[in-house]
């Protein structure tokens, strides 16, 4: 595991965007695995800026996102489809036909998960997968569990997550209760993995996930077994790790 220390959120966003940019420059037709959440927003802004300045070309890139809420239509502003469009896809020259997310509106979970695994495989596998880190060590929607889930699957959201998400929706009924997510096995098959982490509130989980034992109770700990992981984290997130 390579740990790249950034000064703060801005610096993390810059360094992580450079890693993605290098991937696109080195392999213009690469498959990028993308994430949503608050952490990657700054890095997506940098990619948009470099595209606008003529320094980055997404014309041949394929993207596959980690996860999507089950049951949310694309136009719902809480869907990950909407997030990706409003933070990246609508502002760069990525071909919309080569952007992929699990289809939250497909009610047939088994069929949707199988379809998504096939999409990733047919694209040739993921060259670089971007990940954020949940406070409990989750990656994608892979929550602490007794075993690592291998492939794309449907998860029941925890009461805590549903409760936390309620404020973003017009009514409690609209809050998704399930999500489709790449499995740990899907993520581990990516050739390279880039993890972005920021903030003192992530310091404990950074230490546990990357310096503690590998266990499905801390899903991100499995990344210690991947041959090519780069973690770009700011000083606050690394404050509990002994990097000397």
Q: Is 84 in the site for ligand F6R (CB under 6 A)?
A: no
What distances in angstroms separate CA 142 from CA 42, 153, 164, one per listed residue? 24, 9, 17
Return the number of other C-beta atoms located less than 10 Å from residue 163's C-beta: 12
Residue 67 bears catalytic tag: yes
Q: Any catalytic annotation for residue 136?
A: yes
Shortest gap between Cβ of 9 and ligand F6R (angstroms)? 11
Give the x/- contact pattern for ligand F6R in 135-154, rule: CB under 6 A.
---xxxx-------------
- 75/151 Cα distance (integer angstroms): 27
Binding-site string for ligand F6R from residue 207 to residue 236, where x marks contact by CB under 6 A and - marks none: ------------------------------
DSSP per-residue string spanning 97-140: GGEE---TT-S-HHHHHHHHHHHHHHTTS-SEEEE---TTS-BT
Residue selected from 42, 132, 137, 219 as contacting ligand F6R according to rule CB under 6 A: 132
When asked if residue 134 is in the footprint of ligand F6R (CB under 6 A), the reply is yes
Comparison of 38 and 93: residue with beta carbon closer to ligand F6R: 38
Binding residues for ligand F6R, rule CB under 6 A, total 14
The least CB distance from residue 133 to ligand F6R, in Å, is 6
Pick the catalytic residue from 76, 138, 149, 208.
Answer: 138
Asked if residue 196 lies in contact with residue 10, where contact means CB atoms within 8 angstroms, the answer is no
Catalytic choice (57, 103, 106, 136): 136
Q: Are the CB atoms for 244 and 214 separated by under 8 Å?
A: no
**Closest to 16 (Cα-Cα) out of 179, 35, 28:** 35
Q: How far is the CB of 183 from ligand F6R (least distance, A)?
A: 12
Report the C-alpha gap between 115 and 213 in whole angstroms. 33
Q: Contact with ligand F6R (CB under 6 A): which of 19, 24, 43, 66?
A: 66
Task: Tell me, yes or no, if 226 is annotated catalytic.
Answer: no
Transcribe 62-91 into DSSP letters.
EEEESEEETT--TTSTTSHHHHHHHHTGGG
Say if strands 128-131 and 229-234 run parallel, antiparallel, or are unpaired. unpaired
Per CB under 6 A, 36 contacts ligand F6R: yes
The residue from 3, 11, 21, 37 that contacts ligand F6R (CB under 6 A) is 37
Q: Contact with ligand F6R (CB under 6 A): which of 24, 31, 35, 155?
A: 35
The residues of the shown chain that bind ligand F6R, judged by CB under 6 A, are 35-39, 66-67, 132-134, 138-141
Catalytic residue list: 67, 136, 138, 143
């Amino acid at each position: 595991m390579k740990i790249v220390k950034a000064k703060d959120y801005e610096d993390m966003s810059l360094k992580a965007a450079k890693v993605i940019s290098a991937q696109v420059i080195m392999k213009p037709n690469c498959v990028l695995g993308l994430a949503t959440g608050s952490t990657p927003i700054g890095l997506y802004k940098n990619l948009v800026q470099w595209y606008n300045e003529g320094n980055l070309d997404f014309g041949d890139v394929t993207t596959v996102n980690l996860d999507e809420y089950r049951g949310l239509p694309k136009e719902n502003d809480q869907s990950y489809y909407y997030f990706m469009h409003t933070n990246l896809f609508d502002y760069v020259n990525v071909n919309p036909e080569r952007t992929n997310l699990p289809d939250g509106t497909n009610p047939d979970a088994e069929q949707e998960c199988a379809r998504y695994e096939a999409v990733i495989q047919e694209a040739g596998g993921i060259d670089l997968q971007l990940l954020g880190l949940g406070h409990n060590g989750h990656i994608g929607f892979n929550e602490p569990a007794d075993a690592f889930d291998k492939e794309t699957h449907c998860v029941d959201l925890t009461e805590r997550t549903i409760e936390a998400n309620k404020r973003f929706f017009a009514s409690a009924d609209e809050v998704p209760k399930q999500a489709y997510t790449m499995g740990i096995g899907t993520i581990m098959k990516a050739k390279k993995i880039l993890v972005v982490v920021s903030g003192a509130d992530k310091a404990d989980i950074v230490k546990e996930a990357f310096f503690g034992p590998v266990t499905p109770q801390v899903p991100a700990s499995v990344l210690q077994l991947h041959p090519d992981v780069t973690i770009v984290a700011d000083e606050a997130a690394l404050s509990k790790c002994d990097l000397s």
